Chain A
Amino acid sequence: MGLIIMQNKKILFTALFLIFVLVIIPSLIVMTSRWDLYYTLSSVALLAIASAGVWLTFYIGRINIGQGAFALVGGYVTAILITKAGFSFWLALPFSGLFAAFISVLIGLPILRLRGVYFAMITLVLTEVGRLSALALPITNGAKGISNIPLPGELSFAGITIIPDFASFENPRMAFYYLASVLMILCFATLYRLSNSRLGHLCRSMQQNEELTSSIGVNIAAIRIIIFALSSFMGGIGGSIFAVMSQSIYPSSFQVADSINFMLNCFLGGLGYVFGPMLGTVVLYFGWDLLFQTGKYQMLIYSSLLIISMLVLPNGLLSIRLSGRKKS
């Protein structure tokens, strides 16, 4: 009985969430004519996707401060494929995610053996390596970056238009909002399913004890790679859409501060909860904006609030609502 009620509750929450994101928010924007919010909320959705990837690496007990690098890779691959190779965005998008994942496998093979602060430091350096490579490589066009990336064209299958050309929309920003939020929903649905499947249980075992996990016959090296690749795939997807949305990508588009923010989003939302990174991203993003009025104290207040919230709520914001339930 209890299970059925919980199931129904879940379906209800999901439905409400979908209606909120896909119907209510756009309606509010139309009513208030705050078109700029489309751009803001799309950014939040993209950042949430990248943060979801970071959450996955937390799930196998690794602190990942390298997501900026993979977002940058995704952004550049998309920019290069579209502007230099004439790819459609709809092909460049999955390709960017896959390329980021491919790079992460190459890098992950040696570094995923490291744990704790060593892994964190290496990934931090990785973000910086990403930025420096973008500055140095000929194909990325140095500090000038790649600008004038065209809007996504039409996506059609067998002559039937699935997604119209973004330029044909009166407001392409709305199209980006739907694209980003639908992908975010897919991303978190995947995360939810993963964490409730055997792979998720194995990740949790690894987070607690890798030796014991391999002693029960689990190929922990393979799982680490799978998870890291998935994480970087999400980073690459986020970066790819970001590049076409802002129609440009620069070496400074994703840097160390961004990598750290992705990580903080997970911390703040709660590492124990699948939807933690989404909530964390929303709260941190708007929290930072709200503090804009405080001028030069913005950073000080922001950091202090962050520290206090982590001290008071070590398991993240979601632990408030769920704390009563978890025990049973």
Chain B
Amino acid sequence: MKKPLLQVNHLTKKFGGLTANHDISFQVFEQEILSVIGPNGAGKSTLFKLISSFLRTTSGEIIFDGNKISNLAPHIVARMGIVRTFQETTIFKNMTVRESVVVAHHIRAKANLFGYFLGTSTARAEEKEFARSADEILDFLQLSSLANEVASNLPQGHLRALGIAIGLASNPKILLLDEPFAGMNHDETMQMVELVRKVRDRGVTILLVEHDMAAVMRISDRIIVLNFGEKIAEGTPAEIQENEQVIEAYLGKEEDLVGLYTC
């Protein structure tokens, strides 16, 4: 049996009286695409923020590569290789695409900031390397033609790609994608699915949260279903589609239900 890259053990998060995540446990294996689905307010984003340490856990623990990472500072977790992209298409608005991706290489910097200030040879060599790597990532995500565009001018689909490019720049082992397909039409979604697969094929493990059932069923190796903060099911797309509890949780949400059956 493969060793898990990430282990979530009995994770609970309370906001005052509200339990957003309750006793959630699961494992993520290397190079898989694991999706977390669930109705609005089920606690998916909260789970992501706990894993990337943007929120403190109430109880339970998160183990990455054998080390406990829950409640470390977010930049430390990012440095260990868990990098999140953002739901709200959060980007560096006034920077160009290329600048954003270059600056996102910070994790890889070995020279310290003072070295960069003085322009030591290590620092200059690194800047060159970051620029090269940024171009490679932009090329990989088909953003090269937009490299000098200011980020806030990008259309939505490209913004998501930019979010992923920023994530890739920090050389993640696990990339957390929060609703990468939200607001996209069918064609855009299918392109994004391809892109996420390509990223996985680079060796990056993908954990994603998503509403779009059709896309989730298509892309995922395994799926975890949350409802009211609890994990109610886990399995392959085929298993999830058969699961009574999952169907029940989605009852009354016709669009999602359709998605559940059409693929």
Contact = CB atoms under 8 A, between A and B. Distances in A.
A215 interface: yes
B48 to A, nearest CB: 11
B75 A212 contact: no
A199 B117 CA distance: 7
Contact of B78 (A197, A204, A215): A215
B93 interface: yes
Interface string B102-136: 11101101000100110100010001000000000
B211 interface: no
B116 A216 contact: no
A90 B54 CA distance: 46
Contacts of A217: 75, 78-79, 83, 106-107, 170
B92 A197 contact: no
A84 interface: no
Contacts of A205: 92, 95, 100, 103
Given A193-B117, A198-B113, A205-B103, A214 B90 contact: no
A216 B169 contact: yes
Interface string A210-234: 0110111111110000100000000
Given A216-B169, A217-B75, A197 B106 contact: no
A171 B85 CA distance: 62
Most chain B beta-carbon neighbours within 10 Å: one of A202, A208, A215, A221: A215
A208 B117 CA distance: 21
Contacts of A201: 99, 102-103
A234 to B, nearest CB: 16
A199 B75 CA distance: 16
A216 B94 contact: no
A194 interface: yes
B91 A209 contact: yes
Given A197-B113, A215-B83, A217-B106, A204 B95 contact: yes
Contacts of B127: 198
Contacts of B116: 197-199
A208 B75 contact: no
B231 interface: no
B75 A214 contact: yes
A198 B106 contact: yes
Contact of B84 (A209, A215, A221): A215
B117 A209 contact: no
B95 to A, nearest CB: 7
B90 A212 contact: yes
A216 B91 CA distance: 12
A216 B166 contact: yes
A216 B170 contact: yes
Contacts of B74: 214-215
A205 B99 CA distance: 10
Contact of B123 (A198, A204, A209, A221): A198
A218 B113 contact: no
A32 to B, nearest CB: 41
Given A199-B117, A216-B107, A208 B94 contact: yes
Rank and list the top 4 A-B pairs by shortest CB-CB distance, nearest first: A217-B107, A198-B116, A217-B78, A216-B104
Given A202-B113, A212-B91, A220-B75, 14 more contacts: A197-B113, A199-B117, A208-B94, A209-B92, A212-B92, A214-B73, A215-B52, A215-B78, A215-B85, A215-B86, A216-B166, A217-B83, A218-B75, A219-B73
